[in-house]
Structure 1
Amino acid sequence: MRRVLAGLVAGALLALAGCTDESPKIDDAAAAPTGPPCLQAASPSPAQSPSAGVAGKPLPAMAVRCFDGGRYVDVAQLGSTPTILNLWRSNCEPCRTELPALQRFVTAAGSKVRVVGVIVKDSRPAAQSVIDDKQLTFPMLEDRDQQFSIALSQVVGKSVANALPATLFIAPGGRIVYTYQGIALDDEKIRALTADHLGIEVAA
């Protein structure tokens, strides 16, 4: 009888604890996502070094897993070209609002600017649903345990792990030159921030 009561109490406590978790449950046994593709491997060069003399704060030195499989990408690759890094989660409404604007920017910018998504503490099926619904084609990484976003927070001096969406503008050399957190970005704001902080004009 005591074992039965103990089991019922434990179950009730677990149920209550689950109500306080605002993030989707992560299913490690889920099938591998179908895309979009991850970053292609880049050959190291002096221009990619965070010490290349570009103003800004260096990206944290770590590897982050691709969303489309088990491969990991060296974050230093993000310094090979001007990059917009967007951190998002499926149950973040502003994230879902601005993702289509980023997709339109990808189409307009071509090879001028790279956009990379980082899916933070999310389940793969939930993230995949957003990717499919918004028809996103830019590369995606996943930060399921928030190690990358916490490291970014330490670099930029404010939380990007718990205040999504967060959008970082990264200059060649792997330097974070600007971090945006606020209302969902629209097409005009993305182009303006890109021009201001990366020095690249992208036509509407």
Structure 2
Amino acid sequence: MKPETWTLPDDLPAGKLPVTITYLEMAEPPAGPARARPEGVDGPVRAWPCPPAYYRFLYDTVGDPWLWEYRRRMAPERLAEILADPAVEVHVVALGGVPAGYIELDAEKLAMDGTMDVAYFGLMPWAIGRGIGPWLLDWGVRLAWAKPGARRLTVNTCTFDHSSALGLYQRMGFRPLHTEDKLVDDPRLTGLLPLTAAPHIPLARRP
């Protein structure tokens, strides 16, 4: 399924894109049975410590269609520090031996208030539509809840993401807490992402 094509307002400041971020939480573990693994899928396998170059391959390939840019801006030393932290888990799934997507869990706040965060979750473009996404998210959610002391799960999504992302999180048991409207720099115009990224979102007006 192709993402919906955007239409940008005419009065946006040069170089800016509008985005709405939705923050969600899950207050109790899933009640039903776990989803069945899609045929042919291997993993998830935890990559730890995840080599930064491999992580950037995953992050960039999964995130280019949705304008993921935060980790692209991150200094290599800081990214390596995050990936070496035992509280950060990067779990990769493969199809036919080829990486198909990943889910990243962050237990940084687990000891403080019982929060597990789904920091990143997504599929390679070629793997979308094969039933892998709902299964991988369900698998990750159950893994997060299995951590001793886990009392809530958090995640966020935004209007740059696939149009079905918010609905998927809600079907999994997450409920929206609040939203935030922002104007952000178009990362394709700043050089962080290629101009061909996220073709469903028109380029911002050039400064």
Superposition TM-score tier, normalisation by shorter sequence = under 0.3
Q: Normalized against structure 1, the TM-score is what?
A: 0.27
More helix by proportion, 1 or 2?
Answer: 1
**Larger RCO (CA within 8 A; separation ≥ 6):** 2
- Structure 1 or 2, whichever has the larger Rg, is 1
Q: Normalized against structure 2, the TM-score is what?
A: 0.27
